Amino acid sequence: MIVYVCVGSSCHLKGSYDIITMMQKALKEHKIEDQVELKAAFCLGRCANGITMKVDDEIITGVSRENFPEKFNKYILGKLK
């Protein structure tokens, strides 16, 4: 699985680097670092919709510090099962 987190200017200003840090921590806590490749993307084209991630070919918008656990469980853990 490949996960991209947008680090373009809009997402950066909304805290995308915090999301990357949270993702790294969650991957390590769940011991799935070897199953998920985490990458940065400069723009995923959804600038008005909050921080954007792309999980394989699926775009996930509106990611925030507050809803990160929910998004992680649904789009990362849910797809690895």
Per residue in 48-58, pLDDT (tens digit) is 888 999 999 99
Q: Domain 2-80: give its CATH superfamily.
A: Glutaredoxin (3.40.30.10)
pTM: 0.90
- Domain locations in the chain? 2-80
What is the Cα–Cα distance from 18 to 75, expressed in whole angstroms?
Answer: 18
pLDDT band at 78 (very low <50, low <70, confident <90, very high): very high
The separation between CA 14 and the C-alpha centre of its own chain, rounded to angstroms, equals: 13
Report the candidate in 3, 4, 12, 20 with the shortest Cα–Cα distance to residue 50. 12
